[in-house]
Each structure stands twice: as structure tokens, then as C-alpha cells.
Amino acid sequence: MPLHFPSRAASAVAAGAIVALLAACSTTQAAAGAAAPAPPTVAAAPASAPATTAARPSEPPVASVQTEVSVLSIPSVGITGLRVMPYEGTTDDAPGTRIQDKGVAASPYGKHGGVGPGQAGNFLVTAHRLSAGGPLRDLPAVVNGDSVLVTVGDVVYTYEIIASRKTSFRSERSLSEQRAAVPGKPGVPPTQAMITISTCATPEDHAEGNFWSDAQGNPEHRIDKIGVLRKTTAAPPAG
């Protein structure tokens, strides 16, 4: 039987159909590839940095306040410009007494001392009443409600006297109450800034026939005036 071959026209039509079909498949595949979202790129996590704590500028470093010389005034009794020298120790010990012998006040800090001006706790200030010029000779006349001004640099801390007490050098309990973070309450955590200003009760002791004294020549009793911080202000410009 004779073989029949398609005409040239039919072959051309068939070839065109095949080309069109291939083009359609390629277009479909390209569209599908374009529509598929690219996998997300994950950035490498940076190496963790050590945690830092923001400083609190409202609270000056403890050491800087405790070791700065301050100036104390009690206007109600005419005490003005009394220099307060900080040192590491405790009230009326040998180093503190040597400071007082120079006619200035001493303020102990450290494990057995107090805090600095304006800090939560007990700011301890001691000075002579009779010797070395008697800078605190009028301290017994201070009464509740009187103001005590303590200047450190360009800051003035104003305390209000709220209590008086008598400390005995012959009683460990009495001494611990004087030096406590909350005056009169050993072991109680402080919640506010307080001050204890102390001087000797020599005339009162001698009037009662009590002539006891310690190695530094301190009499048995001291007169303490206790205050609480009421306000903090900027010091007036010098001059």
C-alpha cells in the first residue's frame, strides 16, 4: 500500500502548534517561579553584649559625699561656718578627738561610722563644747524645730531638729543607739537622711559629782541633737 505523506502546509501547521505549546509551558513555569516567594533571609544574631545598668545621677557616689569637707550652721544659736572634717572611724575615738582639738567638727564614716550629708542614714557630727574654741558651746540651747544647714560644694542640706538625747560613754547600748543608722534604733534600716550633732556634757556631769572621763578626756555623757532632712537646695553664689 502506498504511503501518504502530509503536505507542506499541514507540516507547517503542526510545527507551529508544537512551538506554541512549548512556549506556553515555558511561560507557565516562569510565572510559577516568579510567584513563589523567596525564602526569608535570616540575619545572624549579633554577639550578646554584657548587660549595663544606667547610673542614677540623683544619687551621688557614696565615697565622694562621705569624704568631702562640709560646713555646718545652726542659725538659731549663732553657730555659723563650722567646718566638718570626715574621717574613717567612730564617734569621739582618738582620731576624731584629734580633729576636734583643732577647733573643727569631726564626722566619722565607715563600718562603725555614719553616712555623708544628705544620704539615708545617720550623719554623725561631733565637736568640742569647752576646749578648742568651743564651737558647739551653745548646742544645748538648740530646740526642736531649729534648722541645721550643711553645705557640701554647691548643695545645701537643711535638717530640722526633732529630738534630744543623752549618750553615755560607759554604756555600749547607749553608744550603739547614738551611732545607729536610725538614731536610737540599732538594727533598723534607714529610710531617710538624719543627723546627730554631739558635744560633751562636762558641766552637767561635774555639777552632779561625776568626774569620770575616758582615755581621750571625754566625760561620761554627751548631749546629742537629732535632726531629719527637710530640703535640699542649691547653695547661693559665693560673694
The string of pLDDT tens digits covering residues 165-188 is 999 999 999 999 999 999 999 999
Q: 47: pLDDT confidence band, cut at 50, 70 and 90? A: very low
239 part of a folded domain: no
Residue with cell 559629782: 209
Segment 12-35 mean pLDDT: 40
Q: 237: pLDDT confidence band, cut at 50, 70 and 90? A: confident
Return the minimum-mean-pLDDT range out of 36-45, 99-108, 113-122, 212-221: 36-45
213 part of a folded domain: yes
225 part of a folded domain: yes
Retrieve residue 35's grid coordinates: 510567584
Global pTM reads: 0.74
Residue 219 has what DSSP assignment?
Answer: B
52 part of a folded domain: no
The domain tally of the chain equals 1
Residue 239 pLDDT exceeds 90: no
Residue 140 has what DSSP assignment?
Answer: G
Which one is predicted more confidently, 9 or 150? Answer: 150
User: Quick check: 156 and 192 in contact, CB under 8 A?
Assistant: no
Average pLDDT of the chain to the nearest whole number: 82
27 part of a folded domain: no
Print the domain residue range for 172. 63-234
2 part of a folded domain: no
User: Quick check: 127 and 135 in contact, CB under 8 A?
Assistant: yes
Instruction: Please name which of 199, 178, 7 lies closest in space to residue 104, comparing C-alpha atoms.
Output: 199
> The CATH number of the domain where 111 resides is what?
2.40.260.10
Retrieve residue 204's grid coordinates: 552637767
4 part of a folded domain: no
149 part of a folded domain: yes
Beta strand segments in the chain, E: 70-74, 79-88, 105-109, 121-126, 147-152, 155-168, 193-200, 221-234
Q: 238: pLDDT confidence band, cut at 50, 70 and 90? A: confident
Beta bridge partners of 122: 194
> Could you read off the pLDDT of 66-109 as tens digits, one per residue?
899 999 999 999 999 999 999 999 999 999 999 999 999 999 99
126 burial level (CB within 10 Å; 0-12, 13-18, 19+) = buried
Report the alpha-carbon distance of residue 186 to residue 215 in Å, rounded. 25
Residue with cell 537629732: 226
